[in-house]
Amino acid sequence: MARQVRIQYEGAVYHVSCRGNEGKEIFKDELDRDTFLDLLRDSLKTYSVGLYCYVLMENHFHLLLETPLANLSEFMRQFNITYISYYNKRHKRVGHLYQGRYKSILVDKENYLIVVSRYIHLNPVRIKKMERVSLTEKERYLRRYKWSSLPGYINKAKRCSFIDYMMILEAYGGDNNKGRKAYWRAICSDLSKGVDIRQEIVGQSILGNDKFIKWVKERFLTKDSREIPSVKKILSYKAKDKIIKAICEETGKEFDKIIRAKGATRQIAMELLYRLGGLKGTEIGEIMGVDYSTVSQSRKRLKEKLTKDKNLSALMQKIEDKLSI
């Protein structure tokens, strides 16, 4: 399995998760969950790590963390060792509890902190047995789900002392009744519309806008790390504006006209924004004013055209060559 790139700096925010080995449970009962949270609280204090939210599921957990001391690796190593030691001793077992190392996604705090918090809080209803449950029942289930930081976001009486609620609630009007109600409305809206951050993650390691990804590349991805597959993928992505500029320069057309023309050039833009820009279909659809299925079908049609139209293939190559510089 390819190594995941680890980027650490003071004040970095991460979405961290661990899954049980072979998909097996990592919590057998409430005592395990209570102990996990007690150990988490102690580790947060020891390593001066901030916690925005968490969710404990049967065979995995999610954390949204901030590391003022740039010490995610040290924190997670000690915390995981401590819980695994407890779990193995209590349940008279040996060996690995988790499926490999923990997974961490570096999060653009300014632009993605809020959406990641909601994504994490929706995990309890993002399971197979909840697929056919009504929205009302899902809302009720989330409100009552005990092993999540969500109850503390919508009810002040259910708060944990080791969670920072203020940062996220500020975006919804503050840490008050208005802010808590607004956050809950956003959760309910996500339930009906859906929220999925997975396709927006670059190189399995970074979640952020173009500016953030560029900053990370320039500051932290050194020559020594370029052979790591996940780093190669991050470095291969181009900024959206750079792709659009190259297309416009090679075609001699303004981007608005390319979108309205609905021809092969628009299909090229869709393909390059997807393949080189790292944008998902829904994001490209928003740029082009179409839905996700149109983007997918347009990209398929382009591949057929490129095999038959030499001029179109040459144009595509020129744009890609410009972007490779």
What digits encode the pLDDT tens for the residues 121-163?
Answer: 999 998 888 888 899 999 999 999 999 999 999 999 999 999 9
Based on the domain organization, do 153 and 268 belong to the same domain? no
- In degrees, to the nearest 5, what angle opens at C-alpha 256 toward C-alphas 297 and 292? 25
pLDDT band at 198 (very low <50, low <70, confident <90, very high): confident
**98 is in which domain, residue-wise?**
12-200
Lowest mean per-residue pLDDT among 153-162, 230-239, 254-263, 315-324:
230-239
Which of 200, 229, 257 lies at the terminal end of a domain, its last residue? 200
Give me Rg for the CA atoms of the chain.
22
Per-residue confidence band for 1, with pLDDT thresholds at 50, 70 and 90: very low
Do residues 32 and 149 both lie within one domain? yes
Domain boundary among 200, 227, 259: 200
What rounded mean pLDDT belongs to the chain? Answer: 88
User: Does 140 reside within a domain?
Assistant: yes
Both 244 and 297 in one domain: the answer is yes
200, 222, 251 — which closes off a domain?
A: 200
Considering the domain architecture, whether residues 194 and 249 belong to the same structural domain is answered as: no
CATH code of the domain containing 250: 1.10.1750.10
Per the structure, the count of domains in the chain is 2
**42 and 183 together in one domain:** yes
158-197 pLDDT per residue, tens: 999 999 999 999 999 999 999 999 999 999 999 988 777 7
Q: Distance between CA 221 and CA 236 in Å, rounded?
A: 12
